[in-house]
Structure 1
Amino acid sequence: MASGLEEAWSRLTLTEDEEQVIVCDEDESEERIEQIALYLWGKLLTDNYFNPGVLKAVLKNIWKPTPGAYSVLPLKQTVEFSKVLGSQLGIFLSCNEANLYCGADKSMNFQVELDITKSLRRGIRMVVRGKTLWIRLGYVKLPDFCYGCGKLGHVLKGCDAVGDTDSDVSALQYGEWLRASLVKSKKK
């Protein structure tokens, strides 16, 4: 598996937009640091065997966090940071603060107006606290798009940029993994 992943990574070609590295300010507010300090951590006290994976699945089902793990640090899960990320993709429209789960799964949801003549961005390279991170992007309600060039409006069979569509599917630069689903929080 590891060699397959390394091989796929070596075939990945970043677009000009994806090559850009954004340097992020380190201006975490004291209020945000206090919010993170109030996370709920727990320990299961039992002498009986239990399956940690099942426990995690049950807690996720109860708490219903946003799906996906997109590498956004908990201190950066703010409306301001979503504006920074959104402005890298297009025109930032909105971010629902209720969807910022304080690091439950390292994801954020925000709306942006995209230029559909460009390829979809698969991620954003960002330097935070001296570390370069790849923040993976996922798109909600994404229509059909080309797995070869990443543009909306056609699929792989109609793509002039890729040419032969009978080529190895694993060599394609885009895929179904760009689709993200949005779980709406329960109304009280």
Structure 2
Amino acid sequence: MTMSTDTGALSAEEARRLLAAVAQGRDRAAFATLFGFYAPRLKAFMMRSGMAASTAEDIAQETMLLVWKKASYFDPARAGVSTWIFTIGRNVRIDRLRRESRPAAVASAFDPSDEPESPVSGEAAVMAAEREERVRSAVALLSPEQADILRLSFFADKPQSEIASQLRIPLGTVKSRVRLALSRLRQILDDLK
């Protein structure tokens, strides 16, 4: 096996031979040459993509460790050595970003409705009961048509088109009765204060 005397350059053919030596015989000298050539380039590539120097160096080292372990998987018919090594580096970087962002993803997936509701204080329960009684009294003062439409719309949660079908009245009549009923209800509740 021939090694490049110029450490700044490594031909595609030399890189293939070195990687084959690593794959077939676990040649440490061949790996050291590959490491010396590709690790600084991987680090620079990662730093250009916005990574801190220490993180970029970690990714370069992890990538070269995978090159050592997976050298036998390299297929020169599918890609060049540089492309193969930089693809491994890219995948290592993506995996690292996923691992680092997972706690944030878990936190963003947290739904506040998952928390149990705090117990209602006695004062809040009394105030809610008083409010409900005021609304019931005010609804009782509405005309039967308006009271029925409010019950169907707000308490039965039915859409206005369904109310119109059920009561066999035009949709416009339902809408105007709801509007008039709410207006009258506001007036009654203001008077009950």
Structure with greater proportional helix content: 2
Q: Tell which structure's C-alpha radius of gyration is larger.
A: 2
Structure with greater proportional strand content: 1
Task: Determine if the TM-score, normalized by the shorter chain, exceeds 0.5.
Answer: no
Relative contact order: is structure 1 or structure 2 higher (C-alpha 8 Å, sep ≥ 6)? Answer: 1
Q: Normalising by structure 1, what TM-score?
A: 0.25
